Amino acid sequence: MSGIAIVGMSGRFPGAKSVKELWDLVREGRESIRQFSWDEIDARDPAVLSRDPSYVRARGVLDGVADFDAPFFGVTPREAELMDPQHRVFLELCWEVLEDAGWDPARYPGSIGIFAGQSLPTYFLANLASEAGVLDRITGEYQVGSYPSVLGNDKDYLATRASYKLDLSGPSMTIQSACSTSLVAVAQAVSSLLAWQCDMAIAGGVSITFPERRGYAFQEGGMVAPDGHCRPFDKDASGTVFSSGAGVVLLKRLEDALTDRDNVVAVIQGAALNNDGQRKVGFMAPSPHRQAEVIATAHAIAGFDPSTIGLVETHGTGTPLGDPIEFEGLSRAFRAGTDKTGFCALGTLKANTGHMEVAAGVSGLIKTALCVREGVIPPAHNYTASNPKIDLPSSPFYLPTELRPWPLGDHPRRAGVSAFGVGGTNAHVVLEEAPRREDSAEAPVRQDSASEGAQLLVVSARSESALQAACRNLSQVVGEVSLGDAAFTLGERRAFSHRRFVVAKDPSNAAEQLRKPFAATAAIEAPQVVFLMPGQGAQHAAMGAQLYARYEVFREEADRCLALLADAGTDLRGLLFRPAPHDPSLSQQLMQTAVAQPALFVLEVALARLWQSFGVKPSAFVGHSVGEFAAAALSGVMPLGEAARLVAARGALVQALPRGSMLSVRLPALELGPLLGPTLSIASENGPSLSVAAGPTEDIEALERALSARKVVSRRLRTSHAFHSAMMDAAVGPFGEKVRGIQLQPSSVPIVSTLFGRVAEPSELADAGYWTRHLREAVRFYPAVKAASALPGAVFLEVGPGRALSTLARQAGASSAHSSLPEPSEEGADEVASLLEAAGRLFCAGVPISVSQLAPSSARRVSLPTYPFERKRHFIEPAAPSQRAPSEAAVQPDGVGSASDDPIESLVQAQLELMRKQLEALGTVS
């Protein structure tokens, strides 16, 4: 599929702190232009003293532009103070748009570009340079000094600063074309993507000007409205109202977006740019001819029949002269392809928010993309009847006066967006709705949350308070999306040091957990994971069956091991991974050593491979008894097939021996040893005060009685044989012969030997004698765990059924030990939920786990609340009047600089007069 996908959006708008709030404002037909009282107007404005009746106290403003989360971006407080809020807000938007799209730039495999522009740096002019001498110093040092002020305010560094702070390697450039800037930036980003200069691109603009709380002096026939309201295409249209605003979109080639499971809001199919040249009456005047050309060019690039376009977001400034000229250009472009009337709605965001200047084009694009996605056409605010110089009834267009549905037809919903800049740079973009997922071979169909099962949601932030806020924000929207989609998206975002997770099966439960108070976990630096591989006794019927059903990696590795065992004469394929946990025959068969040991081997190898597929790489292995053979296969000591055959042979040899018993005793091995007779052995050192004795059943029973008399706690283990005791001697020789038939290799990952209670040397593991001794001698699990705990940041993960080894590890002093699977005795045990719980704990411990890989394969990225910046005020107030440099007006002779002699105003009036003549030449626009 062709086209450029919009996969993320972010913005700040008058009366709307987010894209979602902007959409609510537009749908409801509200206006966010602020009407100030005289007390609110900035005291620097002379109109405050004169109470000039022609002064219109209206403007669209953004809240909190003085505030910034400087530490998040590695910016010092002083640097933040000197930085134009336009740069600061743009930085935040760039981070947010990547998070909104579900991408961490540090993990994105391609290059990301930035194309954006900003307004005149009035923070520098009105605040930083207001103190006497500052402007002279900065201009005197220009190019060799005052770098913090220059770099933090100059337009040149808007895009490149963001690329630096976010480590983006694609093209990074500032675009400037007055009011069309941000839509030109979008068009340039589209071109860069199509030329494969980058793989994703941030495009947009920001306009925040100072003083913030100001209005303007109305002049008859000027470009601004006399009452502070913008009425595009209306009979009462009398001018525009300027506002602050900012917006960015994240763009990507559509085929890549579908492959990457992105949230495609809409698809740009054509983008065109041109300039009026001299074919107009003056530099500031618009040209309907060139506007028509740029619109028709965009249609041609997209291959759109104009009659299929249902909405155009116009430049729509609401001036009585500019609206008819724009309408003429639109009509010409559409009439080149259709004679139909009244099928295409006209809209303009300026009626709601005012004219956001540099940010106007991208803001209109954001609004239009949402219209296309949601299938609604918002009302044209402030519209009652058309401008008399516009022949609306015979045109292709209409002005909607209420929210109306935009039903699907025999083609995708399509729309256009225009932005025209003073100076004549025109931009037009045409877009259509995203392909429906059921029609896309690249993207599987979504499932509802109930069918997806348990999901792991991870949240992180740079501080505990920000983490609390992030959880609250997520709890408010988690019910609006698929839980699997949320899990996948959250797993793809940047992981910060303060972390939390929840495992839930439905959105309401997820929201409830997220709202609960919690103690945040701070991730440790560079944790090292130790895989604990259980031995016999942990097995149970249906172990791993739920993982086998859900995870392809587990299923493939398990099938591979089962096939190897079957080739060696031990066929467990009809026994393992069956979803019948209460089948007595299964339990009985798994109690047989000849079955239990290879069954555990299969499960542990498959489970370890599953963890590794999630990015969890072991730094060491600790294997309890037969569990060390799984460690040997995973670390390369033995080929997988040879290890499987050895385990099957080991189990069969032990199965053929006389039966015995084992007793777990609450005593250290050194204290238990003297209490044993000649027939009993220490089989295992499991803890500082926990050992296991093994031997003939009658001798174990006698020991049990003696211990009871001493009030020493003991418990008989459910085993068929006296493992790691003298009763194994008969199997040692035959097993040694089988081991000597295998080519053993040094381990690629350290194995902490439970034979030695320390890290085994590579040469020791490559010796057949090690593995024969391993069958007979005691399992020194406690010393092995103590040795493994010496690894910096050791995190233990039990890779097998049950929780016995992780419990023993904690008793041995391990600060972080987790189990993968539940105990078989747990009623309604959910293996997937248990696995996700373990993954969440690893995430919180700082283990670099690919959490998104645990989500369903059908999951896709969705828009979720972005990072809750913890902003603080970083703002330099303008100097007091006594400290300011004298203004230009103050040093001019009397009479010079009056309104009537202002050269800029004279130019504007001349241009307006030329526009009137051009409009008269056009006649009644049709």
Judged by phi (left if over 0) then psi (alpha if -120 to 50, else beta), residue 133 lies in: left
pLDDT at 688: 93
Q: Are the CB atoms for 66 and 85 separated by under 8 Å?
A: yes
Q: Are the CB atoms for 721 and 660 separated by under 8 Å?
A: yes
Mean pLDDT of all residues in 685-694: 95
At residue 590 the predicted structure's pLDDT band, cuts being 50, 70 and 90, is confident
Instruction: State the catalytic residue, choosing from 87, 229, 299, 355.
Output: 355
Dist. CA 692–CA 472, nearest whole Å? 49
Q: Which two tokens stand for residue 12?
A: 């700040």
Mean pLDDT of all residues in 735-760: 94
Q: pLDDT tens digit string along 543-558?
A: 999 999 999 999 999 9
pLDDT at 146: 66
Sheet holding 455-461, edge to edge: 455-461, 498-504, 521-522
Say which DSSP state 681 is in: E
Instruction: State the catalytic residue, choosing from 149, 172, 179, 498.
Output: 179
Instruction: State the catalytic residue, choosing from 315, 721, 774, 818.
Output: 315
pLDDT at 443: 39
Residue 890: count of CB within 10 angstroms of its CB: 9
Mean pLDDT of all residues in 642-659: 94
Q: Which two tokens stand for residue 128?
A: 């930083």
At residue 891 the predicted structure's pLDDT band, cuts being 50, 70 and 90, is very low
* 179 among known catalytic residues: yes
Dist. CA 200–CA 204, nearest whole Å? 13
Q: Are the CB atoms for 261 and 395 separated by under 8 Å?
A: no
Mean pLDDT of all residues in 99-119: 97
pLDDT at 14: 98
3-state helix, strand, coil in the chain (%, to 5): 40, 20, 40
Contacts of 681 (CB under 8 A, 6+ apart): 693, 694, 695, 722, 724, 725, 726, 778
Dist. CA 921–CA 926, nearest whole Å? 13
- Rounded to 10°, the helix 804-811/781-788 angle is 70
pLDDT top residue among 448 and 222: 222
Residue 517, pLDDT above cutoff 50:
yes
Distances (CA, A) of 924 to 296, 352, 921: 22, 28, 9
Dist. CA 318–CA 351, nearest whole Å? 8
Mean pLDDT of all residues in 216-229: 89
pLDDT at 206: 98
Dist. CA 210–CA 801, nearest whole Å? 64
pLDDT at 903: 44
Q: What is the pTM of this model?
A: 0.89
Mean pLDDT of all residues in 736-748: 93
Q: pLDDT tens digit string along 242-290?
A: 999 999 999 999 999 999 999 999 999 999 999 988 887 778 778 888 9
Residue 768, pLDDT above cutoff 90:
yes
Residue 317, pLDDT above cutoff 80:
yes
Q: Which two tokens stand for residue 27?
A: 């749908």
Q: Which two tokens stand for residue 339?
A: 């004679």
Residue 601, pLDDT above cutoff 60:
yes
Closest CA to 33 of 223, 243, 225, 236: 243
Instruction: State the catalytic residue, choosing from 287, 625, 789, 834.
Output: 625
At residue 524 the predicted structure's pLDDT band, cuts being 50, 70 and 90, is confident
6-15, 91-100, 402-411, 775-784: segment of lowest average pLDDT: 402-411
Residue 879, pLDDT above cutoff 70:
yes
Question: How long, in residues, is the chain?
Answer: 926
pLDDT top residue among 56 and 448: 56
Strands (E), 705-844: 714-716, 752-753, 758-759, 794-798, 817-819
At residue 519 the predicted structure's pLDDT band, cuts being 50, 70 and 90, is confident
3-class SS at 112?
A: strand
Instruction: State the average pLDDT for the chain.
Output: 90
Mean pLDDT of all residues in 772-801: 95
Mean pLDDT of all residues in 499-505: 95
pLDDT at 129: 84
pLDDT at 50: 84
Dist. CA 823–CA 589, nearest whole Å? 19
Dist. CA 798–CA 842, nearest whole Å? 12
Q: Which two tokens stand for residue 6?
A: 């919009």
Mean pLDDT of all residues in 400-417: 94
* 625 among known catalytic residues: yes
pLDDT at 284: 77
Using a pLDDT cut of 70, give the percent of the chain over it: 92
Mean pLDDT of all residues in 157-170: 96
Q: What does 328-349 look like in DSSP terms, one character per residue?
A: HHHHHHHHTT----S-EEEE-T
Dist. CA 292–CA 284, nearest whole Å? 18
Burial class (CB in 10 A: 0-12, 13-18, 19+), 108: middle
Say which DSSP state 251 is in: E
For residue 643, give the H/E element and its range.
helix 640-655
Residues paired with 501 in a beta bridge: 458
Closest CA to 64 of 867, 878, 869: 869
pLDDT at 868: 98
